[in-house]
């Protein structure tokens, strides 16, 4: 799965849930998805067919659990061992409900009608049609009608009853849009599934912010900057989490720290209760468990993403090639210095008693202990309060600055342009409101004396 393109067209599109099973990248029409729940071992059936892994009891109804390994080459058949893990996806098509086991849930993606029209039948199974994505990867689309037909045959062969259908069509239409539900520090949270691009193991931070704001750093995800929400913003005390839910819109991406993604569900409007205290909460969802689900405020979350300046679509089209694709930290060093974020490994608050030793020389050379090793220092400011850990060409140094003022997202600033000061060349970037000197490690001596 690739990051969604920011360019939007008027071509009609359908939303598909992205799934992973073994090496197979799968998609299924999101309108068929009722919920996703942690995998549980299906109950055994005396008259099971080869494509039937067993049955699940859900809301007093037994559902056929189809085994996709029967149709997809290279997959081991479902085991009675719960260690297979993953999720059961509950689908409904024309009154037939069924369960499929998948390894991973990958969020939602809109597929243009033209791409769906070009889908080709898979050579080995009638359940799939295949499309080629922009990055060349193949996505296999599960056919809802074929799955329902297989489930219907399995129901008849195993003598399963489906008398109690989940929802009449009119009631189904009144449900809220699908919600992704996840856990963090024992608390459950929900967010509209259409905003969730992927749930993934949390990658290492490329830049860490240690000044205690709502964002704790940046990770790289599919060629995009993802700004990490600090767990404390959701009331969690731990800093590190195993998983990351990548959410966002055309303006950028935010990473929500999570311990686990638990379900994909649709709720009734009457399950929503009053607003929950906290700027990031829109309300509570009450279900059959003791503790309610906190519904996150999508607008408040997305506003935490550093935004580019507001421009018209025409302006964006005309000027995007004239903008820098780098993001920058703007620092005060006596001059306003823009440091490319890909150079910054960490931003640290200096100890209150920190002072530049007299013997550090005119360029502030010296060292400080960082991660158990001596880190060379280079002071650019007169009264440093922050240290930027810079990694460049396999060298690491601590850049001392007076303050970190702001973060300029990608496509906010102009491309760098060259000027000369005191006979020496350097470059600047500009936004609508200001210009900044571009930090380049090769010119450290110049910045230290100007």
List pLDDT tens digits, range 186-238.
888 998 887 888 777 888 888 877 666 788 888 888 778 899 998 888 888 77
Q: Is the pLDDT of residue 87 over 80?
A: yes
Residue 8 — very low, low, confident or very high, per pLDDT cuts 50/70/90?
A: very low
Neighbours of 278 (CB within 10 A): 14
| Residue-by-residue DSSP string for 199-221 | EEEPPPPSEEB-S-SSEEEEEEE
Question: In a 3-state reduction of DSSP, which class is residue 49?
Answer: coil
Rg, the chain, Cα only: 26
pLDDT at 2 (0 to 100): 42
Tell me if 339 sits within 8 A of 388, measured CB to CB. Answer: yes
Question: In a 3-state reduction of DSSP, which class is residue 90?
Answer: strand
Question: In a 3-state reduction of DSSP, which class is residue 441?
Answer: helix
* Nearest by Cα to 333 from 403, 385, 387, 398: 403
Beta pairing class for 336-340 and 435-438: parallel
CA distances from 119 to 4, 114, 142 (A): 19, 9, 11
Q: Which of 52-66, 111-125, 408-422 has the lowest mean pLDDT?
A: 408-422
pLDDT at 315 (0 to 100): 37
Neighbours of 48 (CB within 10 A): 18
Greater confidence (170 vs 273) lies with: 273
> CA-to-CA distance for 379 and 366, rounded, in angstroms?
9
This prediction has a pTM of 0.49
> CA-to-CA distance for 341 and 325, rounded, in angstroms?
11
Residue 275 — very low, low, confident or very high, per pLDDT cuts 50/70/90?
A: low
Report pLDDT digits (tens) over 33-84. Answer: 877 777 888 888 776 677 788 888 876 778 888 888 888 877 665 443 444 5
Q: Which of 29-33, 345-349, 365-369, 402-406 has the lowest mean pLDDT?
A: 365-369
Neighbours of 306 (CB within 10 A): 18
> CA-to-CA distance for 107 and 341, rounded, in angstroms?
27
Strands across the sheet with 252-258, in order? Answer: 196-201, 243-249, 252-258, 224-229, 215-221, 207-208
Q: 36: which 2 tokens?
A: 């996703």
* Nearest by Cα to 33 from 85, 109, 84: 109
Neighbours of 113 (CB within 10 A): 11
Beta pairing class for 243-249 and 252-258: antiparallel
Beta pairing class for 344-349 and 196-201: unpaired
pLDDT at 48 (0 to 100): 65
Residue 256 — very low, low, confident or very high, per pLDDT cuts 50/70/90?
A: very high
Q: Which of 17-26, 56-65, 270-279 has the lowest mean pLDDT?
A: 270-279
Domains and CATH numbers, the chain: 13-173 (2.40.50.180), 179-302 (2.40.50.180), 319-448 (2.40.50.180)
> CA-to-CA distance for 343 and 348, rounded, in angstroms?
14
For the chain, the average pLDDT equals: 76
| Residue-by-residue DSSP string for 147-165 | HHHHHHHHHHHHT----S-
């Amino acid at each position: 799965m690739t990051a969604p393109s920011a360019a939007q067209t008027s071509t009609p599109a359908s939303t598909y849930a992205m799934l992973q099973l073994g090496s197979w990248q799968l998609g299924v029409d999101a309108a068929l998805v009722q919920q996703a729940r942690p995998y549980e071992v299906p109950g055994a059936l005396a008259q099971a067919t080869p494509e039937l892994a067993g049955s699940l009891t859900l809301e007093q109804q037994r559902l056929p659990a189809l085994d996709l390994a029967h149709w997809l080459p290279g997959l081991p058949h479902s085991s009675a061992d719960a260690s297979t893990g993953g999720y059961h996806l509950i689908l409904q098509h024309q009154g037939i409900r069924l369960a499929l086991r998948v390894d991973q849930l990958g969020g939602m993606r809109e597929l243009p009608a033209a791409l769906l029209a070009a889908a080709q039948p898979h050579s080995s199974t009638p359940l799939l049609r295949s499309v080629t994505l922009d990055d060349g990867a193949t996505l296999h689309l599960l056919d809802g009608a074929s799955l329902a037909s297989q489930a219907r045959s399995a129901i008849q062969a195993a003598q399963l009853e489906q008398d109690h259908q989940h929802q009449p069509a009119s009631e189904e239409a009144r449900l809220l849009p699908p919600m992704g539900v996840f856990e963090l520090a024992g608390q459950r949270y929900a967010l509209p599934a259409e905003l969730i691009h992927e749930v993934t193991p949390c990658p290492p931070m490329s830049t860490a912010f240690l000044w205690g704001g709502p964002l704790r750093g940046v990770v790289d995800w599919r060629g995009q900057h993802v700004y990490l929400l600090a767990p404390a913003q959701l009331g969690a005390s731990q800093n590190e989490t195993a998983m990351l839910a990548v959410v966002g819109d055309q303006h950028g991406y935010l990473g929500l720290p999570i311990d686990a993604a638990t379900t994909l569900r649709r709720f009734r409007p009457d399950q929503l209760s009053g607003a929950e205290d906290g700027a990031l909460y829109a309300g509570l969802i009450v279900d059959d468990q003791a503790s309610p689900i906190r519904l996150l405020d999508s607008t408040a979350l997305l506003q935490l993403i550093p935004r580019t300046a507001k421009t018209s679509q025409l302006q964006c089209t005309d000027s995007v090639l004239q903008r820098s694709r780098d993001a920058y930290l703007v620092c005060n060093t006596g001059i306003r210095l823009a440091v490319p974020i890909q150079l910054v490994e960490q931003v640290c608050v200096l100890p209150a008693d920190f002072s530049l030793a007299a013997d550090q020389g005119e360029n502030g050379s010296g060292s400080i202990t960082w991660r158990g090793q001596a880190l060379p220092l280079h002071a650019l400011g007169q009264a440093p309060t922050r240290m930027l850990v810079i990694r460049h060409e396999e060298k690491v140094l601590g850049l001392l600055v007076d303050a970190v003022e702001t973060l300029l997202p990608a496509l906010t600033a102009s491309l760098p342009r060259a000027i000369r000061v005191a006979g020496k060349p350097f470059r600047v970037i500009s936004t609508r409101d200001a210009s900044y000197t571009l930090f380049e490690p090769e010119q450290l001596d110049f910045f230290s004396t100007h």
